[in-house]
Chains A and B, each alone.
Chain A
Amino acid sequence: MYENMVTARHYEERLQEEYLEGKQPAFDISAGPIPGELHLAAGHEASGAGVCQHLRDDDTVTAPHRPHHIAIAKGVDLERMTAEIFGRETGLSGGKGGHMHLFDPDVNFACSGIIAEGCPPAVGAGLAAKKRHSDAVAVAFLGEGAIDQGAFLESLNLASVQNLPVVFVIEDNDWAISMPKERVTDVENGAQRADGFDLPGARVDADDAIAIYDAAGEAVRRARDGNGPTLLEVQVHRRMGHFMGDAEGYRPDADKNAAAKRDSIERLAADLRAHDVDDETIEELRSRAHERVEAAIEWAKEQPEPDPADAYEDVFSDPPSGATEGDRSVAETGGDD
């Protein structure tokens, strides 16, 4: 779990460096080696790691537009994910999706760039598991700004009335772009949304990875045992702007400073030490994570750009439905994850 979190943090730091290349001194979103918008999740690591630790490859995860830490924790192929973020041919989606639209069917991971829109597909994955008598579960991650969205509320209801194995995880980082949560919702605790749908709701405060792990364990077990959905809200924090290039003019300095002090990774390291894990072991985990990130970024940057003509492929499934598995050409994959 600690290694996952350190990997995610270092990954974000490296992506930030790469993203800014070619965008300075004047920030131009369409310049540099990484295309488009980039939403970094530094400060969210405890959520992805604490929840996904309980999941198997056949469990489904849907992530929102800030997906990297969740993808890493779910075991998405790091090299191919990085190549996708760099818009390369061997990326997870061949360069078509980009950082908000990462799909790795090998570990049942998907994400969407539109708020709360991952919730209904997670309900669908739970429905499929139930219909097939599998004990797989689905987890939908969303931000606290998404808890007013119809797709989320309707998903809670459908999962509840169908008693589906779904865990909804609200990552509360206090900010929906420029909007502090107290200005968009009257509930202090997003998990209270569960009350209206007759399902259990729980909240974990203070960026506490171990408490998140424990609460998620209970929710995932409940889903796996056929006892229905759970709504979990976890407190994380946003160390940066909403997206790279966001100057955060709307955000008080005090809030930024407070967020910077709330470091879930340091907190977990302290917990590990308190449980007699020595510094050498912690350092070893950290350096292994860093090496893995560097290798993924190096690999991704060496990958070829897609052929412009690739843009015309994949609008529909290829081969068309009805073709046999043997007809499917196997896409080249890279890396060792």
Chain B
Amino acid sequence: MAQQERERQTDRSLTMSRAIVEAIAHEMREDDDVFYMGEDVADYGGIFDSTAGLLEEFGHDRIMDVPISETAYIGAAVGAAQAGMRPIAELMFVDFFGVGMDQIYNQMAKNTYMSGGNVSVPMVLTAAVGGTYNDAAQHSQTLYGTFAHLPGMKVVVPSTAYDAKGLMHSAIRDDDPVVYLFHKRLMGIGWLPAPDGPKTGVPEEPYTIPFGEADVKREGADATVVTLGLHVHRALEAAESLADDGIDAEVIDLRTLVPLDIDTVRESVAKTGRLVVVDEDYRSYGVTGEIIARVAEDGLADLEAVERVAVPDVPIPYARAMETEVIPDAADIAAAVRNVRSNE
């Protein structure tokens, strides 16, 4: 059954955070080796509701609040994973990655390779990403590119509740380290209102979404918009406004950056000839450049026009006027689509 069909046939719709928690709870019931560690994840339930309600069912032994010490507890998750458990470690804000990054990229991501495949690290590292609520440069970054650039980590970025649940089931069952980046603006938190899009139908039974399968969230013939996370919804909004002007944009949600489903993107570009890549991460050396390069490598002849929409290479500013300026919105995306069509 097609995914959208399943979303529609489901009576209940969930916020993204509830969908994530449902997947984690299911996996924890099935497998005693799954546990969750992080700052304020137990009694608080996760600052972004990523673990809301889990403490009541599983207790402090399996939903573990830890001291503020990312090096220690992320590294401990690596060790526990190597010992055969399936830990989920939460980095509260992705911006804090620097504190424990050595454990992330020199251990979690490399130990399988350095051991010649003799060691596996079946853990999930979750982190909140994204701005759009004026929290300034140390709490608003998206950093998709950083994790995807360094080899050895699978990188997952859900944009809807349906995807978030299926991808979390897959992440916990995966035998490799998975970095699962959820956007704060999509979680459905009371104090941080989400747009309408991420709350979708979510089946009660468990299901997996395989990594490396992008999802065409809107079909279109005139231009291909490739994006992920919050910007899937902004791209869909842009597509609606473009449709009013007779421009039919296709919107592709990458869903996972590692592995990357470039085939879906190439097929779309072969159809539309025009590519716009949208990212809430910094422009240089990131997702936008990577997607365009990969399409060009095998499909240069299909490319009539290309544009990228991303955060210009500046840290995220605090004041609203400046933050709005640097984080791409639907109008920026629509303008880029119009630009790539202007050579007709």
Q: What is the total of A-B residue contacts with beta carbons within 8 Å? A: 147
Determine the chain A residues whose CB is within 8 A of the CB of B65 once the complex forms. 178-179, 183-184
With beta carbons under 8 angstroms apart, the residue of A95, A150, A249 that contacts B322 is: A95
A28 lies within 8 A of B317 (CB): no
Which partner residue on chain B sits nearest A101 by CB separation? B136
B134 lies within 8 A of A87 (CB): yes
| Given A98-B318, A308-B325, A178-B44 contact (CB < 8 Å) | yes
With beta carbons under 8 angstroms apart, the residue of B98, B315, B321 that contacts A308 is: B321
- CB-contacts of B188-244 with A (<8 A): 190-193
Give the interface size bracket for B toward A. 35 or more
Bound Cα distance A212, B67 (Å)? 26
Asked if B139 is at the interface (CB within 8 A of a chain A CB), the reply is yes
Bound Cα distance A96, B315 (Å)? 9
Determine the chain B residues whose CB is within 8 A of the CB of A36 once the complex forms. 133-136, 139, 318
In the assembled complex, the CB of A112 is this many whole angstroms from the nearest CB of chain B, namely 7
With beta carbons under 8 angstroms apart, the residue of B72, B132, B133, B138 that contacts A114 is: B138
Main secondary structure on chain B at its contact with chain A?
loop
- CB-contacts of B73-96 with A (<8 A): 95-96
A114 lies within 8 A of B321 (CB): no
A29 lies within 8 A of B191 (CB): yes
Bound Cα distance A28, B71 (Å)? 33
B99 lies within 8 A of A151 (CB): yes
Determine the chain A residues whose CB is within 8 A of the CB of B339 once the complex forms. none
User: Using an 8 Å CB-CB cutoff, how does the interface string of B159-195 with A read, 1 for contact, 0 for none?
Assistant: 0000000000000000000000000000000111100
User: Using an 8 Å CB-CB cutoff, how does the interface string of B284-318 with A read, 1 for contact, 0 for none?
Assistant: 00000000000000000000000000001111011
Asked if A311 is at the interface (CB within 8 A of a chain B CB), the reply is yes
B136 lies within 8 A of A177 (CB): no
Asked if B40 is at the interface (CB within 8 A of a chain A CB), the reply is yes
In the assembled complex, the CB of A17 is this many whole angstroms from the nearest CB of chain B, namely 18
Bound Cα distance A91, B136 (Å)? 14
Determine the chain B residues whose CB is within 8 A of the CB of A178 once the complex forms. 40, 42-44, 65
With beta carbons under 8 angstroms apart, the residue of A35, A305, A311 that contacts B134 is: A35
Asked if B26 is at the interface (CB within 8 A of a chain A CB), the reply is no
Bound Cα distance A205, B258 (Å)? 52
Asked if A97 is at the interface (CB within 8 A of a chain B CB), the reply is yes
A residues with CB within 8 A of B: 26-30, 35-37, 84, 87-88, 91, 93, 95-98, 100-101, 112-117, 145-146, 148-151, 176-179, 183-185, 245, 249-250, 305-312, 315
